[in-house]
Amino acid sequence: MNDPETLTEFEPKEIPLSNRDIAFIGANQGNALDIEWSREGKSTVRAKNRVGTIVLPERRIIIRPKIEKVNFFHMLAESYELLDFGLRSFLYEKEPEIHEAIIEIFLQKLLSLIRSGLSKDYFTEEANLPFLRGRWLPLEDKTRNLPPRTRIYCRFPEFSHDTPENQILQLALNQLRESEIETLALRQMTMHLSRYFEGISSITRFQVPTVEYTRLNEHYRPIVNSALFIIENSTINPEKWGENTYYSFLVNLERLFERFLRNKLRKTALQHGLDVVGGERQTGKWYLLEPRRFRLNPDIVVKKQGKPLVILDAKYKKITSYQDIEQGDVYEVVSYCVSIGAKFAALVYPQQEGFSFDGIPEQVHGVDVKLAFYSIPLYERDQSKFEQGISDFNDYVVGLAKQAL
């Protein structure tokens, strides 16, 4: 496989691609990459709203975010309740893949967890033993143990490490072992930590159990979420090239942007007696038509005592003027307001260099709805200015909600 090519989100780059690479992108990675052709027959590849690593049959492509590295990992941790990445600045020159940066933190925290002790719980087991343990099961015993009887079938409690949370951690480790991690130290660490999970039931990514958290295993939540994030965002290529199995790892920036804004806004809104729902955690059942057809699923809804006040639609798109706004996005968020009964709608975009929206709501003709456009300084390199921009956005939305009351 050739040396990896590096892209930055939304920016084009001329990359020579084989016919197999082109066919693979069209079949599997069309949501992450666009290919354009010049008159000379040269291929230009442009990354969409995904970042991470794409493994093609004959090439590996690394897509870096425009978002400052520290801010990007902060957004990941906030949005998915992952491990705390801290303020460490991951140097892409030394660690070129987002995937490996996340793996490094995951493995370090997993090592700390192992040192403090993996969780254990009681499970009911049944076995044919040479001695009585727990409760004798006479019917099963009679069926299984014919004379001369040397064993007894019984049911008993077992205090074991074979818990759902440990099964998920083992699944993440198994997947990492099968993938091609570039950094030798991380490969060795993955092999070393896997030994601590021997004896734990193996599961597949289609058998992930639900973890019930209690005060005894609550400390597992961030590392289990991180394991699930690694599992869910890694996709094995449908074909195996050579002796190696390669995983592509992509983060959907549109989903990340939406979740980050919703989670941050929820914390501020609670201080003002407001509720924030939407997306995957939506609790309202809203429909476009009366017979409960065409369910509506807005990104963010701000409510007060069950009454919708503001609807936000987070769009991770490159907008450098009002002409770049897609009319379909405007129609969508306004239709949400009309159907759900909110008075304010806003489309929220990452702020681009040299252009930003003023956030002033304007009256929509014919309906009692005001529409605004808002820019988030997502690409701000200064950490304090980035945080201030998020805080200003939260205050702005709370202000709209209060106007709607």
Query: For 291-333, how does the pLDDT look when each residue is reduced to its tens digit (9 = 90+)?
Result: 777 778 899 999 999 899 999 999 999 999 999 999 999 999 9
Q: What is the CA radius of gyration of the chain?
A: 26
Angle at which helix 253-270 crosses helix 383-404, to 10 degrees, equals 60
Query: pLDDT-based confidence at 84, cuts 50/70/90?
Result: low
Least confident interval from 83-87, 101-105, 197-201, 389-393: 83-87
Distance CA 45, CA 252 (A): 18
Mean pLDDT of 128-157: 92
Place of tokens 């354009």: 36
Q: In whole numbers, what is the pLDDT of the chain averaged over residues?
A: 86
Query: What share of the chain has pLDDT > 90, as a percent?
Result: 52
3-state SS of the chain: helix, strand, coil percent to 5? 40, 25, 35
**Stretch among 9-23, 128-142, 275-289, 377-391 having the lowest mean pLDDT:** 275-289
- State pLDDT tens for residues 115-132: 999 998 888 889 999 999
- 210-243 tens-digit pLDDT: 999 999 899 999 999 999 988 888 765 544 444 5
Is the pLDDT at 86 greater than 70? The verdict is no
Instruction: Quote the pTM value.
Output: 0.80
Residue 243 confidence (pLDDT)? 53
Question: Is the separation of the CB atoms in 246 and 237 below 8 Å?
Answer: yes
Q: Select, from the ranges 89-93, 244-248, 279-283, 394-398, the one with the highest average predicted confidence (pLDDT).
A: 394-398
- Using the predicted structure, report yes or no on whether residue 160 has a pLDDT greater than 50: yes
The two three-digit tokens of residue 205, written as one number: 């990514």
In percent, how much of the chain has pLDDT > 70? 91
Q: What is the Cα–Cα distance from 330 to 362, expressed in whole angstroms?
A: 12
Give the number of C-alpha atoms closer than 13 A to the C-alpha of residue 55, restricted to the C-beta side.
21
Domains and their CATH numbers in the chain:
1-66 (no CATH), 121-160 (no CATH), 254-404 (3.90.1570)
